[in-house]
Structure 1
Amino acid sequence: MATAERPSRSALHPLHAILLAGPIPLFIGAMLSDFAYSSSYQIQWSNFASWLIAGGLVFTGLAVLCGLIGLFRANHRGGCALLSLLLLVATWIIGFINALIHAKDAWAIMPSAPVLSVIVTVLACVAAWFGLSTKNTGGRE
């Protein structure tokens, strides 16, 4: 008797994957804008960074919400999902602090803004890495 195996499927919802990847280009753009401001002192680069950080925080907050929902689903992914959620929460908190730093006068954001932007970017990348590295589930149910 032959048994048919189901194709493996990822436990990560496609919307959650999009929301995990969304903050990365926004936080990278904010980091590059901070470096551009530090070399040119054109105030508009600081404004660009502020808006990019705000967009990154929106995506990160929605990814945290999807991560919480994913933890309570019946077939959650275990340790990677929890680690990704914790990293996303840390990303959002440090990103929010970075947004508060960017709310100051443009000259007053130096040198903490580029440092925080690098930290937030690295955290977002690591959170997406763990969030998108899913264990495939399949076989019999």
Structure 2
Amino acid sequence: MSTLLVYRHTPGPLHATLLAGTVPLFLGALLSDIAYTQTFQIQWANFASWLIAGALVFAGFAFLFALVNLLRAERKAGQRTLYVLLLLATFVLGLINAFQHAKDAYAAMPAGLVLSVIVTVLALAATWTGLRSGGAK
């Protein structure tokens, strides 16, 4: 008797949670960066650093789920490939952003703010692609 392997057409609950969790964390880091540029209160930069670290954990695990699903996929991997590439870009630029935020006080700005904008947009695009039409299969 042969067994039939069934692959998900939508992300599983854990995968979807990890994927969707990246957006508010990266968005919170962006808002913290904006607050820091307005007030120069160092605590906003600290908040941004911690939010980026949390977002990288979520994005890293979501990327691993997506990569495993891409490797298991049989055909029509175009949408899945775009999804994995968006997650990879989000993670890599998020890591660069974390290194940028590790600098002393205002030395992280304005590059940290620009990277936060880019990473937030990438996280939104990855989440949209992954949850829209089963890109995370």
Q: What do residues 69-91 of structure 1 show as CA deviations (whole Å, max 9, x unaligned)? A: 11123567622221111000001
Measured in 2, the distance between the counterparts of 1:20 and 1:76 equals: 23
Inter-CA distance 81–37: structure 2 relative to 1 (3 Å threshold): same
Long gaps (5+) in structure 1? 1-8, 136-141
Residue of structure 2 equivalent to 1:113: 112
Measured in 2, the distance between the counterparts of 1:74 and 1:54 equals: 30
Which runs of structure 2 are paired with 1:82-93 in the superposition (5 Å)? 82-93=81-92
Q: Is the 8 A contact 1:11 1:76 kept in 2?
A: no
Measured in 2, the distance between the counterparts of 1:125 and 1:102 equals: 21
Residue of structure 1 equivalent to 2:130: 131
Residue of structure 1 equivalent to 2:79: 80
Residue of structure 2 equivalent to 1:22: 21
Residue of structure 2 equivalent to 1:37: 36
Inter-CA distance 77–53: structure 2 relative to 1 (3 Å threshold): farther
Q: What do residues 107-130 of structure 1 show as CA deviations (whole Å, max 9, x unaligned)? A: 101111111000000000000111
Name the larger-Rg structure: 1
Long gaps (5+) in structure 2? 1-7
Measured in 2, the distance between the counterparts of 1:32 and 1:68 equals: 30
Q: CA deviation at 1:12?
A: 2.3
The residue type paired with residue 119 of structure 2 is: V
Q: Is the 8 A contact 2:23 2:123 kept in 1?
A: yes
Inter-CA distance 70–35: structure 2 relative to 1 (3 Å threshold): same
**Greater helix percent: which structure?**
2
Alignment coverage as a number of residue pairs: 128
Question: What is the SS of the residue equivalent to 1:24?
Answer: helix
The residue type paired with residue 64 of structure 1 is: F
Deviates more, 1:111-120 or 1:78-87: 78-87
Residue of structure 2 equivalent to 1:138: none
